[in-house]
Amino acid sequence: MTLARDDVERKKFLKMAGKGMGAAVAASGLAAFIAACGSSSSPTTTTKTTATVMPSGDLDIVNYALTLEYLEDEFYAKVATSGLFSGATLTTLKVFGEEEAQHVAALYSVAKSLGTPAAKPTGKFPLTSATAVASLAATVENLGAAAYLGQAPYIKSPEILAAALSIHTVEARHAATLNTLTNQSPTPDGAFGKPMTMSQVLAVVKPFIA
């Protein structure tokens, strides 16, 4: 069974990532669509809508995950320098940011080994108060966990599936921590996490892309 070999497959994924490290970022079809979702251009400029977005292969899924991780990485970098947090909370948020940066590096390198990596979008995040930012961070992390879970059935490569699940668990732990910080349930969906489709995630992400 594939999941029984998670550690082996994850190591294969990291080996793939190591081969592609340091290459220049270029645009991809999926990344361009995600960027279009966040732009002010008319919906008539593209034939796709969030209601019809589906991955066409592992590269699309890796680039989709990479784009989400780009946004998370940028978000935490801005939070860390916002001056809204201090002490143990700031330390925790910085750790989360460092882990998101590692996700970006690994996913970018694997995307490079498969084809063309997603271009990095420009994020826009309302950093108005500590309470609002903590709530947004919880939303972002819960979204990330649901996004990975939603794509798991479509991943063909065993090593990419194993790596995606290992990232998913970290996103879920981030979410549980932030849910507790914001006085929400650490397990808001109960005993089983609820996946989100690519279309559902893009609809939530759209306001955070400049």
User: Would you kindly state where each structural domain of the chain is located, as residue ranges?
Assistant: 26-39+47-208
Structure tokens at 115: 């084809």
Mean pLDDT by 10 residues, the chain (210 residues): 46 47 31 36 35 76 97 97 96 98 96 96 94 95 97 95 95 97 95 95 92
- Output the CA–CA distances (angstroms, integers) from residue 101 to 42, 95, 96, in the order listed: 32, 10, 9
d(Cα 8, Cα 25) in Å, to the nearest integer?
28
* Local structure of 56: helix, strand or coil: coil
What is the pLDDT at residue 56? 76
Using DSSP, how many helices (H) and how many strands (E) does the chain show?
7, 0
d(CA 78, CA 82): 6
What pLDDT was estimated at residue 25? 29
Asked whether the beta carbons of 42 and 196 are under 8 A apart, the reply is no
pLDDT in tens, 64-99: 999 999 999 999 999 999 999 999 999 999 999 999
User: Looking at residue 15, what is its pLDDT?
Assistant: 52
Q: What kind and span of H or E run contains 107?
A: helix 87-114
Report whether CATH 1.20.1260.10 matches the domain 26-39+47-208: yes
Partners of 123 in beta bridges: 209
What's the gap between Cα 12 and its chain centre?
21
